[in-house]
Every structure is written in C-alpha cells, then in structure tokens.
C-alpha cells in the first residue's frame, strides 16, 4: 500500500493576512481602549507624519529582533460589546515562540464560560476548555493531555471567523530570520504617530502594515497609486463614506485586519487616506493593501513593546510583550509535542531499530487508541485491540460530533473493512454482514487512503516478523528527541521511505515512539491538522479477535 505523503511545512500565504486589518481601523486607533485624553489633549496631539529613515529602520528590525529573542510573554485584551451594548472583554496571557511559530495562551474565565487554553501554529489552532478555575493568568507550562479540539485558523465558527484568529495570525508572522527592507516600508503609507511610554520605557508609536512587504510594489499608472517615497500622498484627509461601505474592518485569517489604539493610538486623521476609493481594490501603497494598519509601540532597541489592532467592527485588541520571562514551550500532541532535533541514528540505535518489529511482535499486542483530528473541525477517537501474531486490528471509530458516523473497523493482512455501528465499544464477537471491504493494495492507488488507513496499516506492519537492515536504517532513520509516555521513557524516531524523499529530517510522514526494550508504544502520522497518535497499552489482557469479518 502506498503511504499518503506527509503534510509539508506550512506556509503562511499573504492572503492569510491580507484584508484582516482594514479601513475603520484608523479612526479606531484614535480612540484607544486605554485612552483617557480629553478634547483639549486631543487637540494638542502631535500631527502624524511619514516615517523617517531611522524610524523605518527600527520598524524593519522588529521582526528580526523577535526572531533573535525567540520567545516573549504576551498579555492582552480583546475588547468588544455584546448584542445589548455591554462591554464584552476577553483577556489572555501566555507566550509566543517566533522561531517555532508557536503561540500558547490562556483566556480568563468569563461569566458563564470557562477559561480556554489555546495553542496555535501557522494555519491551525487547538482549543481546550479548562475543567477547573485557574489560579494563574498564564497557562500551565506543560499543556494538559486530552480534550483538545483542532481546526484550521480562520474557520467560520459558525458563520464567520473568530476575530481572535486574525490576531493570532498577525502575531505568528511577527518574527523573521532576516531584517525587513526599510525602503519598502517607507514606500507605503507608514507613519510616525507620537512618542509614548510602555511600563516606563520610552517608545515611538508607528503605524505600519500587518503584512510586511518583501518586494518592491509594482508601479501603476493610476494617479492614486503612483506616489513613491519622495512623493508620499497626503494622509490627513478624512476617509470617504464610500470607502467604509466597500470594506469593513476586522481581522480575518483569510485576510487580515486593522489595529486599534490604547492610551493614545493612531489618530483619526492618521490613516484616513488608507480608505479605498469606490473601487474594491485598495491603493497598493496603502496599509490596507498589506493587511491593514497596525499600531506598533517600538522602543529604542527596535523591539516592539505593544501592538494594537481592530479585529472587526467594534472589536479591538491590544497585546503587550514582555521579554523578561521566556520559558520554553511544549506543543500539544496534535502539534507534534516537544522540540525535535533530528540527527542520524547511531550504529547502536540502527541495530536496535532493526529488531524493533521482532521485539514488538513478541509483545503480542494490546489495546490501542487513536486521536485523529479531521478537517474542517472533526475529532475521531478510536479504541480497540491489536493482535500482531494474528495480524488483526479491530476497533470502533467514534465521531465525537456525530454518533451517526461511528463505524467499526477491521484490518487484516490483506484487507480493511468498515461497518456502521451504534455500539459504545467494539462488540465481540464481531457482527456479521454489511461490511464494506477494500484491499490494502487498492488504497492509495485506486481509492484514496485516509490517515486512519495509513495508521492501521503501519500499526500492523510494525509487528511483522523478521529484521530490518541496520545499514539501511543508518541511512534513512533519524532520532528526533527523547521523551516520556505515561511515565515510561521513550525515544522518538522517524524512518524515511520513498514517499519521504523530498522531506527534510524531522518532516517524515510517520514517527515511532520506542521504549528501552525496543517495543513501539506510539505511532504518529502527519495530517492536514498537525499530528494524529496511535497509542498501545499492553497492560490489559488481549481478547480473541475476529480473524475476518
């Protein structure tokens, strides 16, 4: 059977962010969430102006410094109103790792709603409701296992994307291994807004794009888009009504939306020229064309201390960054767990892997479970038994969102079969009739192979008799890390096959968690939503499984 190809490293397309931060943001930035300035103070506010070369250089270094610092503590608030016009704020705290593109936060409890644990990587988000109130604002350093639900970032829930998704998308792309080009930033309608302080540290409040440009903007014949750095358009005129009707503000992971203010965020006059004309296509030099305007509070070392954004109509967000506490983050299992440092296996490890199948087969089998997230936001939980000597896997796949889609699964040496089921656990003996069978040889060739198909096929294969060639394993196998599974030490390996030829070390389709005796305890497979796990428990007696159905 051909294995499904691994889910390659995710790429954050500009389209993920473009459009999330839009027009109404500018006016919002003048009425910041923490602003308490009166009319006289507003009148005395400094006039916004284009960035100088030095200021553009600082903004261009922000993402590089984030990447160099690697991690930061983040805290903030998403502020909005409920249908009755009452304040509805969501406060959060946690950490972000820009090198790993991993965010981990906890939201504070709200009336009638538990706190949420949230992890996110480019394109995907995992959410878990907390069982008990937390004594701390930040999440536990080691994320709890189980009950995580995974979905694409920006998935409508239920009718439109969660505004928080857009904020997360912006935060994750705020790190880069290279400095950005200050000339490209000055080519946009970026602005200096004012001097300010954050926790006593002097900062400059700069209005920049959510999506930093990486190549020069193509010139156009349109008078409204032809202004270059030396002929920057006037940004003091008020936004037109037609512009507001054309595009609504909001952070949207299929686009990205604008920033909002705090103490004294961008003033209403600062970005009014960002408003598009009657045409739905914005000026390519406007911030709107690059995800929308974002307020960046940048200190003297070119590090961002605060960021503000307008996520959607009436929903604003502020995020503060603290670099004094930067713990290493552990990703949830659906995101691959701990940090991997791939290296080729040693001669001793290759020899141990060569007898992995023999050692695993000698364990005979056991009870297994699978946690499998499926697009768009489904979660499949599988429980059953594996018998390596009999060459059989028999289980019940539960759809946690719809019991009507539950199925019994029987996998043997030559076929895999499924049957609709209303049972709570796989019945023994297995029911007769109504099974739909497919040959292993047809899966991935004549009919598509699902992630569950691949996992079950591999689970049966790791218990086949015979040894593998340690010399070949020395060329194809990598040790990713040492870990622990249910209190037992394990080493996590990957073995590259022909399907992984284009995959760099650490990115193969399958991972093998092997205990010190050489027995496989967990299999992992890459999916469109991260990773799925098949765990094997040898502590319970193995029943007699049906050889065929």
SS3 124: strand
pLDDT of residue 255: 36
Question: Do residues 12 and 169 make contact, with C-beta atoms less than 8 angstroms apart?
Answer: yes
Identify which of 524, 537, 131, 117 has the alpha carbon closest to the alpha carbon of residue 334.
524
Question: Which residue do the tokens 């768009």 mark?
Answer: 376
Share of the chain above pLDDT 70, in %: 81
Residue 367 tokens read as 């009870």
Identify which of 365, 316, 162 has the alpha carbon closest to the alpha carbon of residue 252.
162
pLDDT of residue 160: 76
Note the pTM of the prediction, 2 decimals.
0.82
Question: Do residues 51 and 162 make contact, with C-beta atoms less than 8 angstroms apart?
Answer: no
CA-CA distance, 411 to 387, in Å (whole number)? Answer: 10
What are the DSSP E strand ranges found in 225-336? 293-299, 304-312, 315-322
> pLDDT by residue (tens digit) across 448-505?
899 999 999 999 999 999 899 999 999 999 999 999 999 999 999 999 999 999 999 9
Residue 76 tokens read as 């903030």
pLDDT band at 34 (very low <50, low <70, confident <90, very high): very low
CA-CA distance, 321 to 96, in Å (whole number)? Answer: 9
Mean pLDDT of 108-130: 91
> pLDDT by residue (tens digit) across 403-434?
999 999 999 999 999 999 999 999 999 999 99
């Amino acid at each position: 059977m051909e294995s499904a190809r691994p889910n390659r490293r995710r790429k954050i397309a500009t389209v993920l962010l473009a459009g999330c931060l839009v027009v109404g943001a500018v006016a919002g930035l003048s009425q910041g969430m923490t602003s308490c300035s009166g009319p006289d103070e507003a009148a005395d506010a400094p006039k916004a102006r284009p960035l100088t070369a030095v200021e553009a250089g600082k903004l261009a270094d922000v993402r590089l410094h984030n990447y160099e610092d690697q991690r930061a503590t983040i805290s903030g608030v998403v502020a909005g109103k409920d249908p009755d016009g009452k304040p509805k704020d969501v406060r959060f705290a946690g950490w972000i790792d820009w090198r790993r593109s991993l965010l981990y936060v906890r939201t504070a409890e709200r009336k009638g709603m538990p706190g949420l644990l949230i992890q996110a990587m480019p394109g995907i988000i995992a959410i878990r409701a907390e069982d008990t109130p937390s004594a701390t604002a930040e999440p536990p350093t080691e994320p709890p296992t189980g009950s995580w639900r995974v979905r694409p970032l920006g998935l409508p829930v239920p009718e439109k994307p969660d505004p928080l998704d857009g904020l997360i998308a912006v935060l994750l792309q705020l790190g880069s291994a290279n400095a950005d080009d200050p000339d490209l930033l000055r080519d946009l309608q970026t602005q200096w807004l004012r001097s300010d302080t954050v926790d006593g540290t002097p900062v400059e409040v700069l209005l920049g794009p959510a999506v930093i440009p990486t190549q020069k903007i193509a010139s156009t014949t349109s008078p409204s888009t032809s202004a270059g750095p030396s002929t920057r358009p006037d940004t003091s005129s008020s936004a037109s009504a037609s512009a507001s009707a054309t595009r609504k503000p909001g952070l949207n992971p299929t686009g990205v939306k604008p920033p909002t203010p705090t103490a004294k965020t961008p003033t209403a006059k600062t970005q009014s020229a960002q408003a598009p004309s009657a045409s739905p296509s914005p000026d390519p030099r406007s911030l709107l064309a690059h995800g929308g305007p974002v307020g960046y509070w940048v200190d003297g070392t070119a590090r961002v201390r605060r960021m503000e954004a307008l996520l959607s109509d009436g929903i604003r967000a502020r995020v503060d960054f603290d670099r004094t506490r930067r713990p290493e983050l552990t990703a949830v299992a659906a995101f691959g767990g701990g940090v991997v440092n791939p290296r080729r296996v040693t001669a001793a490890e290759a020899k141990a892997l060569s007898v992995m199948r023999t050692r695993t087969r000698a364990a005979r089998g056991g009870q297994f479970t699978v946690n499998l997230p499926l697009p768009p936001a489904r979660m499949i939980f599988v429980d059953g038994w594996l018998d390596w000597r009999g060459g059989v896997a028999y289980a019940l796949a539960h759809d946690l969102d719809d019991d009507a889609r539950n199925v019994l699964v029987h996998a043997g040496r030559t076929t895999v079969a499924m049957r609709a089921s209303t049972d709570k656990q796989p019945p023994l003996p297995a029911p007769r009739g109504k099974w739909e069978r497919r040959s292993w040889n047809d899966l991935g060739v004549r009919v598509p192979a699902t992630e569950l198909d691949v996992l079950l096929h591999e689970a049966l294969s790791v218990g086949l008799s015979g040894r593998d060639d340690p010399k070949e394993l020395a060329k194809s196998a990598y040790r990713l890390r040492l870990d622990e599974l249910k209190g037992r030490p394990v080493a996590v390996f990957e073995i590259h096959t022909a399907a992984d030829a284009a995959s760099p070390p650490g990115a193969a389709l399958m991972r093998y968690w092997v205990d010190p005796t050489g027995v496989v305890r967990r299999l992992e497979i890459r999916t469109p939503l991260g990773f799925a796990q098949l765990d094997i428990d040898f502590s319970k007696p193995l029943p007699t499984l049906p050889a065929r159905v």
